[in-house]
Amino acid sequence: MKPVREIRRGLSLRKQSNKVYTNDRIEMMVYKDNPLFALMPKMEDFGGRNLPIVTIWGNPQGRSATFARAQTRGGLTSTKLDDFLLTRVKDYSIATIDNETLEASKGNSNAFLEAATVEIDGAINSLTRSVAVSMYRAGYGEVGVLNGGVVSGLTLTLSNINEITNFEVGMELDVAASLTGASRAYGSSGNGLIVTGVNRSAGILTFGYAVNDGTNGIPAIGVSDYLFIRGDHSSSTLTKIAGLGAWVPSSAPTSSLFFGTDRSVDTRLGGLRLDVSSLPIEEALIEAAVYAAREGSKIDYFFMNYAQYSKLEKALGSKVMYIDLKMNPEIAFRGITVNGPRGTIKCLPDQNCPPTTIYGVQMDTWKLYSLGKSVRVIDTDGLQMLRQANSDGVEVRYGFYGNVGCKAPGYNINCTVSA
């Protein structure tokens, strides 16, 4: 691919985009409507092959009312600590602008910027949504699950309608029987399932060919398969961000290493979990906050899907107390406050949170680590626009290089709630 060193009529994208795509503008686009993404602390110089996140999870046990026993145990035990060796994952989004548009706007910088803005905004939004959704997930790339019904014909129905926000027309999807299972084989064309329609009221996806078609479908698709955007899923490695669902999973971790650490030794390494699906939502939050406080946590946020937030709002009725979190004049989030055993907890709705999970978060234990801005233009050579090698147009590349890290998983809780 050859770089365009000079856009036609001497109009450089860098020169023009500085008027439209300042860092503040990109951050506004990125963080708006994505509260976890916006509120999580950032570190933007994640260099090197990995980043050790030191977690102290146990105290030395040289203590006894008997000096000799204290001395003996003191010689045999020490502070328990582990390093999570955090590694980066990659994510990309490409904006393309056809050459005819460039030619047609010759001499009219406003026309050029209007055309460029539409495509670049879309690319930034696509990458933002990918990062924001992944920050809640376990790193395997799932965006939905089928409802166990028919897997033939031109449509598929999601198990939970609220996950319809993860889908767009034009997406190409893979399927697998489980999060850690291999993707099912494509039909003879080698294509995934390409979305041609999205019914957001019913949670139904439409495709151009029968989903189990032998040529343009996935013949072995199963009734309760997981859905992934093509290229996001691997059964052997975490190709997406290790989000809250990875650091604080709904099931206790096994001895399998997680960033080099065996988390089965102590739940402080794998977070807290509580099934509160049988409780009214306001009681569920109290139970979760008390459980976390028992372990030394000071939960300051509950993140939940809009459906769960609606339940909470209705349950509290006239007792509801709202809070507005304003990051700047362009970015603000409205939530509800509830009282916990260690202070007020802010409850925020986030469309990216899985529908049957509420996360209790002690925010100062988390950080989004990235190499440069979390959503950034890839312009290592100083050029923001490149000529396409096999098409009559140019492209702008956006990327993410980073991951989510937690220095104290045991201060955070994964709550299973009813749909």
245: alpha, beta or left? (left if phi > 0; alpha if psi -120 to 50)? alpha
CA distance 259 to 256: 10
Residue 30 has pLDDT above 80, yes or no: no
Angle at 245 between CA 243 and CA 247, to 5 degrees: 70
Give residue 235's pLDDT band: very low, low, confident or very high (50, 70, 90).
confident
* The pLDDT of residue 20: 45
CA distance 229 to 190: 15
- 411: CB partners within 8 A, 6+ apart: 292, 295, 296, 297, 298, 299, 362, 365
CA distance 360 to 244: 10
The residue that leads in pLDDT, 66 or 330, is 66
* The pLDDT of residue 19: 41
Residue 9 has pLDDT above 50, yes or no: no
The residue that leads in pLDDT, 225 or 9, is 225
Structure tokens at 201: 């009221």
Residue 2 has pLDDT above 70, yes or no: no
CA distance 291 to 358: 14
User: Would you give the distance in Å from CA 209 to the centre of its chain?
Assistant: 30
In the chain, % of residues over pLDDT 70: 89
Residue found under tokens 């977070």:
271
Range of 21-35, 54-68, 210-224, 320-334 with top mean pLDDT? 210-224
DSSP annotation of 136? T
DSSP annotation of 295? T
Residue 5 has pLDDT above 80, yes or no: no
Residue 29 has pLDDT above 70, yes or no: no
Give residue 18's pLDDT band: very low, low, confident or very high (50, 70, 90).
very low
* The pLDDT of residue 60: 75
4-13, 64-73, 196-205 — which is least confidently predicted? Answer: 4-13
Nearest to 304 by CA among 343, 269, 270, 276: 276
Residue 250 has pLDDT above 80, yes or no: yes
One-letter amino acid of 37: F
Q: How do residues 47-61 score in pLDDT, each as one tens digit?
A: 999 999 988 767 778
One-letter amino acid of 140: Y
Give residue 209's pLDDT band: very low, low, confident or very high (50, 70, 90).
very high
The residue that leads in pLDDT, 118 or 43, is 43
* The pLDDT of residue 288: 97
- 380: CB partners within 8 A, 6+ apart: none
98-102, 296-300, 330-334, 402-406 — which is least confidently predicted? Answer: 98-102
* The pLDDT of residue 98: 84
Average pLDDT over residues 53-73: 80
The residue that leads in pLDDT, 234 or 359, is 359
* The pLDDT of residue 113: 61
In the chain, % of residues over pLDDT 90: 66
- 274: CB partners within 8 A, 6+ apart: 287, 288, 291, 413, 414, 415, 416
Give residue 6's pLDDT band: very low, low, confident or very high (50, 70, 90).
very low
Show me where the domains of the chain are located. 1-133+241-419, 147-224
Nearest to 282 by CA among 248, 317, 251, 245: 317
pTM of this prediction? 0.86
Structure tokens at 235: 């059964």
Asked if 301 contacts 361 with a C-beta cutoff of 8 angstroms, the reply is: yes
**What integer best gives the mean pLDDT of the chain?**
87
